[in-house]
Structure 1
């Protein structure tokens, strides 16, 4: 700006040199002062215009931002705008504020079974999976049967919602294996009823609904082509419950619960189990678990009332059981491990081995319940041969003791013991696909001494999703 002012003054001085020298020198100072004043005024006006322009641009930008924000808010539904997360869930999908995940597997099982002492009815559970109490001991002719089934196909729905700082979760799981009836036959449609396995809601540390019993530790179950695998040696119950889970630190968690009560008793001389529906108190269970770098351990306890009411005659008996289970890793990548469970109890038959032994025995002559004690155990080893191939070896056992005051002849048809051993090989050629082959030998003996054997070769193909 100073350069322009100097140049203008020089130009005026040059022009004034053309007039008379006296007049030029007289007017020079006056003109220079007037010109400088006018230039300063022009500069001030230009600066003011620049300030006004900058202010106008700022106001325009602010107005545009507000308008865009208002338009975006108007385009989005108010309820969804408040519920949408900053990022989409890693898997599953959202409905409002709830994340929903679908999962399960499709599974085909093909088995060829030989029963040493009789036949097992078609479409029965003993044909679908290993059930030791279904092994015939009647001394009939041996039978060999072939079965194909997709009943074990399983589906589940996982729900999760954050509500006012609380974690709300839900879970529903179904399959076709445990349905009590059929909708078709093996000759035509092979249609089977959908059955409820688990259905619960969880609010923070509380669980309400149907789930695995707190007395059971599912983490110890070995991999098998079978529905259960180590049936006679494991705790195995799903039922409605109310459970509280408290982390204790150091990898330890305590679970305590009140669970659905149901007594499965038998009448002396008749080994058939009866669901009485006479229970007046819930079953109580507690389990302490620990998880660390080398494995997992569980210690569980059960306390319950077994009750029967037959008209004027009624009786109840105390039932209890304790169970220890775990999984010990044999490799740093957890591809190989040892799994085990040992359970002992009195009047707790329905929790062990799918009710291989009755909860208690009703004695009509006295109108009382006689105690039944059980010991059950299994052990399994899993060996990862390659990242895609693993070998599983397992053995399982249960023995039953009845009240010594009961006549042996009246107990002749009651289960005394069962055991089984199995080996399988699984191959996962691609992710989520498992192909397995398994051989199993099982034996059952009743108190009267009769026994039966089962030999089964089984193939399975499963796609998990």
Structure 2
């Protein structure tokens, strides 16, 4: 059977990975070209993933590559099992540092990958990949940064180390987006490309919670972050202010038909994230973000920003909260383990829309030498619709990763 992908699903399955935001990465030594130092970094990674769904099949084969909360099948008659091996998470990046004679260099980052969904174009809700390969294209001069990179809402120290393509997924700010960012000491403020994700009340999301992406707003998302960096703990507090605008036709997959909409809503969110040392070998990590009309920001756009009536007569910002929490423990210089839990919950009225999702993750990682990591990870997730129907997916993953230039 031919499996269709819409822009919302393409955004969700696009290549995500675990790395710090561009502004947090240090420039490494490299080779000189004129007044510019260029260095190359990256990794090669093989993943072998055994997946079992409890209630039906995935909407697309690419969804076997990584865990996407909104695409856990619900309400199917049969379970489905598969083994998937791929090296799509492998990536490389170029970093530059240019001496312009002012005492303040210009630094840049250009990063590519071969991530899931590379055969099709991606939407703007999460990663904004141009063509099929672009992850980051970002440069900084002094306090100012320009280009595409992780949203200012993401706080790198709070991310768990997992084999899954995007950490714990639920509760984690997940988009790479074009932006202008200003940073000064503990403060960072970003003006980020606006996208409003929309779902019709009558849409049936049993197969996958597909959404339409609307790029009608004339005002950028404003995202502010205040960070506290201490040797024993790191904390961040985030605020988001958005204009949610849909002007045109919305026609979700598995909905009764299109609705014509011309409406604007206010979106806002507050969040916190942290990495707290619990002794010398253990860290507590957490993220939480909640508000109205900020569903795009966490859980790989699990929740729509707005819910629209089937006749287009009303549009309402969706209240939602996402969070995750976990423990990272170093057993010795070569072995480490991570255990975590994440959840998303939305306040929606459509009976067949996604109400909540949760997942638990545990892994064991081994690095016999500095640049090599071998690991095993188990993950179980469940998605529930507003009417109470639910489905699950379980994943057993083995990975081998060789990092270079780090």
Deviation at 1:455, TM superposition (A): 1.3
Instruction: Report what 1:172 is aligned to.
Output: 110
Instruction: Report what 1:288 is aligned to.
Output: 226
- Secondary structure (helix, strand or coil) at the match of 1:449 reads coil
CA distance in 1, matches of 2:243, 2:197: 12
* TM-score normalised per structure 1: 0.73
CA distance in 2, matches of 1:277, 1:157: 30
Instruction: Report what 2:9 is aligned to.
Output: none
Runs of 4+ residues deviating >4 angstroms: none
Pick from 253, 269, 272: which aligns with 2:202? Answer: 269
Instruction: Report what 1:159 is aligned to.
Output: 96
Q: Is the 8 A contact 2:65 2:116 kept in 1?
A: no
Deviation at 1:90, TM superposition (A): 7.4
Pick from 392, 399, 404: which aligns with 1:460? Answer: 399
Deviation at 1:462, TM superposition (A): 0.3
Deviation at 1:170, TM superposition (A): 0.6
Instruction: Report what 1:394 is aligned to.
Output: 340
Deviation at 1:459, TM superposition (A): 0.2
1:316 and 2:268 matched:
no
Pick from 181, 200, 211: which aligns with 1:243? Answer: 181
Instruction: Report what 1:380 is aligned to.
Output: 326
CA distance in 1, matches of 2:64, 2:305: 25
Deviation at 1:364, TM superposition (A): 4.5
CA distance in 1, matches of 2:234, 2:390: 37
CA distance in 2, matches of 1:422, 1:291: 27
Q: Is the 8 A contact 1:130 1:229 kept in 2?
A: no
Q: Is the 8 A contact 1:384 1:391 kept in 2?
A: yes
Deviation at 1:138, TM superposition (A): 2.1
The correspondence of residues 300-311 of structure 1 with structure 2, limited to 5 A, is: 300-310=238-248
- Secondary structure (helix, strand or coil) at the match of 2:323 reads strand
- Secondary structure (helix, strand or coil) at the match of 2:64 reads helix
Instruction: Report what 1:131 is aligned to.
Output: 68
Q: Is the 8 A contact 2:28 2:39 kept in 1?
A: no
CA distance in 2, matches of 1:216, 1:368: 32
The correspondence of residues 103-114 of structure 1 with structure 2, limited to 5 A, is: 103-114=41-52
- Secondary structure (helix, strand or coil) at the match of 1:315 reads strand
* TM-score normalised per structure 2: 0.83
Instruction: Report what 2:376 is aligned to.
Output: 437
Pick from 140, 143, 162: which aligns with 2:80? Answer: 143
Q: Is the 8 A contact 1:315 1:367 kept in 2?
A: no
Q: Is the 8 A contact 1:199 1:209 kept in 2?
A: yes
Pick from 102, 106, 127: which aligns with 2:40? Answer: 102
Distance 1:167 1:392, change over 3 A: same
CA distance in 2, matches of 1:172, 1:157: 5
CA distance in 2, matches of 1:180, 1:264: 21
1:202 and 2:169 matched:
no
Distance 1:317 1:122, change over 3 A: closer
For residues 245-286 of structure 1, give each alpha carbon's deviation from its aligned partner in whole angstroms, at most 9, with x where no partner exists: 001xxxxx1001111011111122125311122112111010
1:224 and 2:157 matched:
no
CA RMSD of aligned residues (A): 1.8
Larger Rg computed on CA atoms: 1
Q: Is the 8 A contact 1:306 1:316 kept in 2?
A: yes
Pick from 308, 313, 317: which aligns with 1:367? Answer: 313
**How many residue pairs end up in the alignment?**
353
Instruction: Report what 1:257 is aligned to.
Output: 190
Which residues of structure 2 form unaligned runs of 5+?
1-26, 122-130, 250-259
Deviation at 1:397, TM superposition (A): 0.7
Deviation at 1:379, TM superposition (A): 0.6
Bigger relative CO (Cα 8 Å, ≥ 6 apart): 2
- Secondary structure (helix, strand or coil) at the match of 1:163 reads coil
CA distance in 1, matches of 2:120, 2:311: 40
- Secondary structure (helix, strand or coil) at the match of 1:219 reads helix
Instruction: Report what 2:4 is aligned to.
Output: none
Deviation at 1:182, TM superposition (A): 6.4
For residues 371-425 of structure 1, give each alpha carbon's deviation from its aligned partner in whole angstroms, at most 9, with x where no partner exists: 21111111110111111000111111111112xxx5xxxx122101111111100
Q: Is the 8 A contact 2:57 2:76 kept in 1?
A: no
Q: Is the 8 A contact 1:121 1:127 kept in 2?
A: no
Q: Is the 8 A contact 1:178 1:195 kept in 2?
A: no
1:446 and 2:374 matched:
no
Instruction: Report what 2:151 is aligned to.
Output: 213
